[in-house]
Every structure is written in C-alpha cells, then in structure tokens.
Amino acid sequence: MRVDVVTIFPDYLAPLGLSLVGRARESGVIDLRVHDLREWATDRHRSVDDTPYGGGAGMVMRPDVWGAALDAVAPPAVTPAPRLVVPTPSGRPFDQAFARKLAAEPWLVFACGRYEGIDARVVAEAATRMPVDEVSLGDYVLGGGEAAALVVLEAVARLLPGVVGNPESLVEESHGADGLLEYPVYTKPVSWRGHEVPDVLLTGHHANIARWRRDQALRRTAERRPDLLDRLDPESLDAHDRAVLADLGWVPPAGED
C-alpha cells in the first residue's frame, strides 16, 4: 500500500518509523511518503493560511496551496486515483469497519489540517476526481489532523497481510467480529499484590473459560458501551447472553419488522 501524508509538521509523523508501521515500511508492505505543505506555498513567508470569509476566530488553510499539493502528490491524470482521508472533528466516526475498508485500498493520501481547518472547496474539488473521507476519531478537538492520521494509519497497517505475525490476534479483538468489548486478560503470577487470577482460568475447562469470558465481555460492554449492545445483531445473542444482559438491566431494542 502506498501512503502519502501532507502536513505543515512532517516531523510529527516521525513515529511512523517505529513499531508496527515502521516494520511494515521496512518489509515493503507500506510505501510511506511525508510531504511538507509549505513546499507548495508561493509567497515570501510561505504562508498556508488566511482569515476566514464571514469573520470569526482563527485562520483557515488556503485552497490554492492545498490544491497545488494534492495535484503534485496525486496528479489528476493518474489512475486509479488514491482515496483521500481528511481527519477533522466534523468527519464521520472512524471505526474498525472503516479501518478494514481503508486496508483494502492500494493508495491513501492523508491531508492534515491545522488552525480552524481547510477551506471547504479543497474537499469539494478533490471529490470530483477521487473518493474522499472526512473522518473523526471522537468528539474532541486536536491542534491538527496529524495525531489522528497516525492513529488511522496504525489501525490500517496492522490489518495489512504480513504485518501482524499471528493473524489469529486480528480475529479475537475488541470491535472485531462479535461487536463486544474484549474480556479481561491475565498472565503470571497467579497472585499479584493481593489480586488473584480468576479461578476458572486455571481449571483448563475450555467450555467454562469461554463462557466466563463471554460473560465478562457482555458485562463490560453493558457497563462501558451500552451503545454497542443496541447495535448488536440479536441473532448473535444466545439464551445465556440474554439472561446475563437482563440481569444487568439491559432491555433489547424493539424489533423492526
């Protein structure tokens, strides 16, 4: 997969040389190129922003500079065009399903904004010739899109073939197949600072362990993320699951039919 990142802080992307994404780059799975937006600034001060039409606080990133940058990174004649990912607090929520979709793409371009954001015509114009996704990682505002691009790239990189050693660890994960939070995990020693590993995990009784883990996942999800329970396929809950959830006061949503 080829990945381009356009930013006014190229050094912010330095962690992409480390850990999982760094290894994916060394092995050739990811071809990552980071670009300084100011290369496409034209004035003496290499400015990339200007005051907002209509007034208001802060500065807005200029469409001419962004247009030149995107034309250089992804020339309009090149096919197939990349998918453009724009991190912004006003984007669609990024989730694991979206990470899987991005991981299937051959070429991603990240446009990292700063200040009050990028002139809206940049996304409008780019969308006439490439797929564009404005994505949010959650309901908070960062100083710019760089940290969000790092997060999205790490979520995508670990899904690429050959990046994670044991592909089983991709199956059994929070926000994976079953739509529940992960159960708690334990390792040695059995007793640590007065806290014990739950007995059932020491029995070797695989059916009981699976049931206990399932109950823990249901409890955690009900407690921390009831919104995920409401989105579950009712077919994915067995009678025991429903009993556990009823005990926690969860009422199944009315069927649609």
| Site residues (vs ligand JAH, CB under 6 A) | 87-89, 113-114, 117, 136-138, 141-142, 144-145, 148
- Is 33 within 8 Å of 16 (Cβ atoms)? no
Q: How far apart are CA 155 and CA 203, in angstroms?
A: 35
At 11, list the tokens.
């050094």
**Tokens describing residue 56:** 């208001």
What distance in Å separates the CA atoms of residue 200 and residue 186, rounded to the nearest whole number? 12
Beta bridge partners of 110: 5, 85
Do the beta carbons of residue 103 and residue 159 sit within 8 Å?
yes
C-alpha span between 4 and 7 (Å, rounded): 10
> Two tokens at 166?
């044991």
208, two tokens? 């009981």
Contact 7, 112 (CB under 8 A): yes
Of 88 and 216, the one with the shorter C-beta distance to ligand JAH is 88
